[in-house]
Amino acid sequence: MEQVRTVEKALIVLAALKKNVQGLSELSRNTGLSKATLLRILNTLIKYGFVSFSQTKKYNLGISLLQLGATVSDRLELKRVASPYLEHVWQVSKETVYLSLRQGNERLCIDCLNGNKNVRVIAYAGQIAPLHVGGAGKAILAFLDQGELDDYLQNVRLEKIGPGTIININKLKKDLEKVTGCGFATSYEERVPDSMEVSAPIRDIAGKALASISVTAPISRTKEQCDQYILLVTEVAKNISKELGYSPQYFANKLI
């Protein structure tokens, strides 16, 4: 309970600083918290960038809050743009379809529509997995800048999540090369047993792969069905990317 009260006090401090920049005495009056308590909370918030302290001895909201706000804004915009496309893929495939956003070395499911067939794979918003696990993550990982990709492969432990998870770095590199070559990622039991997944990258206005759209289904689906899902996600990913401002022709011209 003490930890909960501490978090509540930190939120009270942030709410007070939202109104205006304040010194310690003013902040104490406005929050009803003692200076000693405030200093403990403020020092922690400063450490993590949620509060800044100026040379004039005034406290202000920190850059970490701006970064969090930008992340929330990106998620909302991506969800807004992608929502009708998710619905389209679901209507055609009747399989589980989901949207993933890169979060550092992981991908986060931010929207999904579960399939309505008798045998299906379930996904849910909030689901997290490392980028090397499953098609959704590999569709993002394969298209990172070379420096970011090298950093991931050197520093992230290739943890085994499902029976088919690729944990050999050389095998993973070859798989990622295939993804960049064909423009989509596939996986078989990498995250969930008896499941397959096809995914395509979604790019932002700068051409970076920030997200992916995926169809996941039982591994028993036919090759013809899987081929249809690949066509669906690759086409839809291109359309979402276009709406987010990405122009393949523009970046092709820059490379000439």
Do 243 and 186 have their domain in common? yes
Whether residue 113 is contained in a domain is answered as: yes
- pLDDT, tens only, 206-225: 888 999 999 999 998 888 99
221 backbone dihedrals φ, ψ, rounded to 5°: -60, 150
Query: What's the predicted TM-score (pTM) here?
Result: 0.73
Give the CATH number, domain containing residue 91: 3.30.450.40
Predicted local distance difference test score (pLDDT) of residue 253: 43
Do 104 and 15 have their domain in common? no
Predicted local distance difference test score (pLDDT) of residue 207: 85
Final residue belonging to a domain, choices 61, 93, 110: 61
Do 201 and 126 have their domain in common? yes
Do 37 and 57 have their domain in common? yes
Residue 30 is which amino acid? N
Do 36 and 101 have their domain in common? no
Final residue belonging to a domain, choices 61, 79, 103: 61
Q: CA-based Rg of the chain, rounded to a whole angstrom?
A: 22
Do 57 and 76 have their domain in common? no
Residues 226, 196 contacting (CB under 8 angstroms): yes
Predicted local distance difference test score (pLDDT) of residue 123: 86
Whether residue 66 is contained in a domain is answered as: no
The number of distinct structural domains making up the chain is 2
Final residue belonging to a domain, choices 10, 33, 61: 61
User: Cα torsion for 54, 59, 62, 66, to the nearest 10°?
Assistant: -120
Predicted local distance difference test score (pLDDT) of residue 1: 62
Do 37 and 92 have their domain in common? no
Query: DSSP characters for the chain?
Result: -HHHHHHHHHHHHHHHHHH--B-HHHHHHHH---HHHHHHHHHHHHHTTSEEE-TTS-EEE-HHHHHHHHHHHHHHHHHHHHHHHHHHHHHHH-SEEEEEEEETTEEEEEEEE---SSS-----TT-EEETTSHHHHHHHHTTS-HHHHHHHHHHS-----STT----HHHHHHHHHHHHHHS-EEEESSSSTTEEEEEEEEE-TTS-EEEEEEEEEETTS-HHHHHHHHHHHHHHHHHHHHHTT--HHHHHHHH-
Do 78 and 57 have their domain in common? no
Predicted local distance difference test score (pLDDT) of residue 201: 97
Half-sphere exposure of 240 (CA within 13 A, CB side): 32
Residue range of the domain that includes 17: 2-61
pLDDT along the chain (256 residues), means of 10: 80 91 93 93 93 91 82 78 95 95 92 89 89 96 94 92 94 96 95 94 90 94 91 96 80 42
Do 123 and 36 have their domain in common? no
What count of other Cβ atoms lies within 10 Å of the Cβ of residue 14?
Answer: 16
Do 206 and 89 have their domain in common? yes
Predicted local distance difference test score (pLDDT) of residue 65: 86
Query: How many angstroms separate the Cα of 185 from the Cα of each of 104, 131, 161, 236?
Result: 19, 12, 17, 14
